């Protein structure tokens, strides 16, 4: 499994961009990077995922380095409701078809958005 490394905590001012880094230096060529977040006492929520190219959706942008050894999740205008633990995950397929897999979560980054 490709392991991911994230800082344990970060702060961000409300209205500013939050940039959350993730290192995945052992990621293999067919592994995707997924980002989730978990607000206190709730189940994790999907944010975004990518393989090689940068991705953007209504929640966030994902920037993956050219060597794929790291990525950054960007919340363009952080709000107080974005305070949560953010998880970066590398997807590990069980077989060559890639249809089965095992997801491994690390400890994530606690993002605190301050007023």
Partner 1 sequence: DVKVTQSSRYLVKRTGEKVFLECVQDMDHENMFWYRQDPGLGLRLIYFSYDVKMKEKGDIPEGYSVSREKKERFSLILESASTNQTSMYLCASSPPLGGSGNTIYFGEGSWLTVV
Q: Can you give the binding site for partner 1, defined by CB under 8 A?
A: 30, 32, 34, 36, 41-46, 49, 87, 91, 93-94, 98-108
> In the bound complex, what is the minimum distance in angstroms from residue 74's beta carbon to partner 1?
19
Q: What are phi and psi of 60, to 5 degrees?
A: -165, 175
Give the closest residue to 18 by CA, choosing from 94, 79, 67: 79
Return the number of the residue (36 or 75) whose C-beta is nearest partner 1.
36
> In the bound complex, what is the minimum distance in angstroms from residue 28's beta carbon to partner 1?
13
CA–CA dist 64, 61 (Å, integer): 10
CA–CA dist 37, 41 (Å, integer): 12
> In the bound complex, what is the minimum distance in angstroms from residue 107's beta carbon to partner 1?
4
């Amino acid at each position: 499994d490709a392991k991911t490394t994230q800082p344990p905590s970060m702060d961000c001012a409300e209205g500013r961009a939050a940039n959350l880094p993730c290192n995945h230096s052992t990621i293999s060529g067919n592994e995707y990077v997924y980002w989730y977040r978990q607000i206190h006492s709730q189940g994790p929520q999907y944010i975004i995922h990518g393989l090689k190219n940068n991705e953007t959706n209504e929640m966030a942008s994902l920037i993956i380095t050219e060597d794929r050894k790291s990525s950054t999740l960007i919340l363009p205008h952080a709000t107080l409701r974005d305070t949560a633990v953010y998880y970066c995950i590398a997807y590990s397929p069980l077989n060559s078809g890639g249809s089965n897999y095992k997801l491994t979560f690390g400890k994530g980054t606690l993002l605190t958005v301050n007023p």
